[in-house]
Structure 1
Amino acid sequence: MIEYSTLPAEPGCYLFKDKNGAIIYVGKAKNLKKRVASYFQKRDHDKKTRKMLSLAESLDYLVTANEVEALILENSLIKTNHPRFNINLRDAKQYAYIQFTDDPFPRVCIARRSEGKGQFFGPFVSAAERDYVLSVVKRIFRLRTCKRLTGRACLRYHIHTCSAPCRGMIDQDAYREQVKRASMVLKGRSRDLIGELRQEMAACAESQDYERAMVLRDQTQAIERLSGKQDMARQVQGDEDIIHYLAHAGNIYLMLFQVHHGTLINKKEYIFEETPDMLEEFLVQYYGENPVPSDLILPSEVDATLEEYLAVQRGKKVTITVPKIGAKKRLLDLVEKNIEISFFGDRIKLEELQEKLALDTLPEVIECFDISHISGTAVAGSMVQFRNGKPDKRNYRRFRIKTVEGIDDFSAIAEVVKRRYSRLKKEHGTLPDLVVIDGGKGQLSAARKELKALDLPLPIIGLAKKEEQVFVPGHSHPLSLEKKEKASLFLQEIRDEAHRFAISYHHLLRRKEVRQ
């Protein structure tokens, strides 16, 4: 039986393999865990899927930043590995590109292949996405789409989506500046362009050219909305290897992504003991037996002699990059994300939470309480439990508030905490490593008072919704925990699940009241 319960709830691609390790099927998913689980929970599969599952002996996966990248990665993996159970589309067309022609006044159009003269951007896996990007670029930068300059203004000029070079309404230099700016957007350099536009906008406002300033403002806002970039398929000639690693408990967990002409085609994983020069040692050993790419993307600098060694191995120059921003940095971050999920699962966020809260033990079992009501009616409480970083729904609990009238979240929290832990204490049940209260200092104080009355010195914190502030007993100010830190995001995930569970019970109680 293939184990899928530890898969991440992230977008990406999953690979079923046979007993020989050969890939027999590649699929994409918005949520890897749910998608793979569906194969084993459904009973009405078609004949082909049943056959594939009967031959599948193992499962591998790659996490991507979003669903679009998963589509691109799926396409490249299928074309590289030719899995037996994927549809064979030998004659299928490649994904389309957006092209700027090499005319004096370049026109923008769709190209099926990145061949010929001009600039090409893409590929775009979705026709809807491609058409949206194309329409926005045409509208923002007012570029022409007509095949010939007829000397007659068309409808697009009259609705202000073309600058009408056919009528001489814009000179060649100004038009090419617009083309240059559009290409910056399509290359993923939106941030640089936005900075330029804002400077120009400020200058126009200062000179009281408010009409031009408004045009630049609209362009800036449109570009910001369009600034998402696909990093799994980029216009790159040659091959790249992207390497990242994490050190943990004396070991190095390293992952290597192989990229061919801008498209990710494979990943490799390694574990070895940590040494001072471990990265350089790995590179020497690995590339002594494997092909050396034209570009190598690394998380840290290496000795210059290594670059010479790699160039000798390849027979040509090798470029080593340690990116700080841009598409290459995002790919490096993606490798790191895959390492965390592949090797550690949820342990990293548990360890960070232990460190941030100064807990004596790893918080393997966490229980979180929330209260839900509408104008003080049908007050309900919920408790969710997370075990080893994941929801343990078998141990979720619901509470109908019995001793509190009206709106009194403090007393309601106190009631559910008392009921939960007095029962656990009476039954000698397993206590959690951490208790989380949805609320600020007031709710935290009420819950802690009940724990003290039960003589249960459990670690307890409060998480206030508005600013995601973490409060601990004995401190009037919240902990200095950033919202985007792993520990904070984990606490928010737990709190949101408790809130969802409380709301669902509250709705159930409301429906019962209506029926009565």
Structure 2
Amino acid sequence: MWELASQAPEQPGVYLFSDGRGRVLYVGKAKDLRRRVLSYFGREQPVKTAQMLARARDLQFVVTRTEVEALILENQLIKQHRPRYNILLRDDKTYPYIKLTTSEYWPRALLVRKVEADGNEYFGPFLGHGTAARLMDLIRMYSQVRTCHWDLKPEGTLPRPCLYFSMGACLGPCVAGLTTREAYLDAVREVRMLLSGKTGKLGKVLQQRMWEAAEREEFERAARYRDLERAVKALAEGQVAELPGKGSFDVFGVEGDGRDVTTVVLVYRQGKLCDKREYHFEGAEVPADGAFLSEFVPQFYEANPAVPEQVILPFAVDEPEALQGFLAAKAGRGVEVLVPKRGEKRKLLELAQENAGESFRLRFRHPAREGERLGAEVQSLFHLPNPVLRIECFDVSHTGGEAAVVSVVVWEKGKLAKREYRSFNVKTAKPGDDPAAIAEAVGRRFRRLLAEGKALPDLVLIDGGPTQLAAARQALAKVGCQLPVVSLAKRFEEIYQDPGQPPLRLPNNHPVRLLLQKIRDEAHRFAITRHRRRRRARRLATQLLAVPGVGPTRARKLLAAFGSVDGIRAASEQELATVVGRKLAKAVKAAVSREKA
């Protein structure tokens, strides 16, 4: 590949990386093709780019006269080939147009989202679906131009008209004799005037026709012209925010985390916010920066040709002159590309950024969606048969072997399920034997889950190294439960999948490592909390029994009266005296006050 890159011309143009089957993997543009393509081989590349280069087997070039031509060609080739490693505008909600099929003998009015070179007339684009829908209602109910999909012959060969004719919403050219071509083309001219924005002229024409029909005592026709004139007037009053003109600008906001990206476009016309568009790129594996916008903005205006006078971006794009030239060619006039640092436009940019951040959070940081994504990554990393939606983590805590407690915390569908946390007081394992304590808790936990028929986790996580991992696996085998188990060792954050194999070391920012650390740390926190509570209870019980006059019966009475050891410690002498008498209350208070740990 380097040999092909070194043969690239030193001119503006487009380059295409292809795989062994000839499929285009990536399309890019450059001011200097040779310098750009050689840069792929002179330094370490991001993961996504490195993957593309590993698959590439061919490199082709198309020389253009200018950077603008290169940008236009790049955009066309991206639309044609849909390369896997390009940023692709997958949102197909382009602005609507109204198509007048003037190439047909009986023209129709249709709502479409794509302009084609088919000899027909297109009007728009209309920002938002509302304006186009209102116009179609006017055409359908008042102009009587057909909006159906019948391929009609000039002579009208259908035996009877459809319901639209009976409703007065169509002149009925499908049936011979219901209308004439001259009358129908008059209605088409009205539609053309309406769609061309000549609402004032059309209103006068309709008003004149209304009076002429009234003089001929054609009152139904007069009423139709009256209603159409009123509707056209109402449309003209509300149309200013829907058509691009002076003071029109689009504001782009971008948010990403290096993996996923969200872009929001706020559309302003005549100073009014009239539309909001948002696009999500899952697994883009690119930073939300100027390079990303350099790919996104041309595709956005290729799909939505309503180019405003100003395009406001959060940061500078690569080769801004080429982007300005591309937008000017699309709009037929000059277009400013701004990155404001202060003033009103900066405030609008901050608003777009806030919208992008919120949309990104809702799309990619919703617990359930985030949980699905992380679960899929865990499944892929450990080669598990099913997506990981539930993880249970075990950790042991004690002080020199005293009051050992094993905690179980649950991560499910993207969040910690605190109501399902459990803890086990170690009973059979020797003090300080952490693997034995883990084995005891794992055995007790899953023996009960199996007996009660409850759902099992997709992955078991153990805090510790290969010894703790082996103990957990043996405990699961004894209860007849086959589950995937891994352990996470604290010192170097190594992941053990098999006690006899070397550990897996992931980068510090790897999502699976961060997830396992989060669950492990929560298990550690919960284990310490339960251990300290048990240790205090044991020490307090020992001190209570050491007080002369306090035996097991009175100790149980104190616990029953105050609920817990903390309750006994917080109680006053007077309150303790109501249970054990004034003399013992003083001794008990002194004993529990000495226990601070």
TM over 0.5: same fold? no
Q: Which has the higher strand share?
A: 1
Q: Relative contact order (alpha carbons < 8 A, sep ≥ 6): 1 or 2 greater?
A: 1
Give the TM-score taking structure 2 as reference length.
Answer: 0.38
Give the TM-score taking structure 1 as reference length.
Answer: 0.44
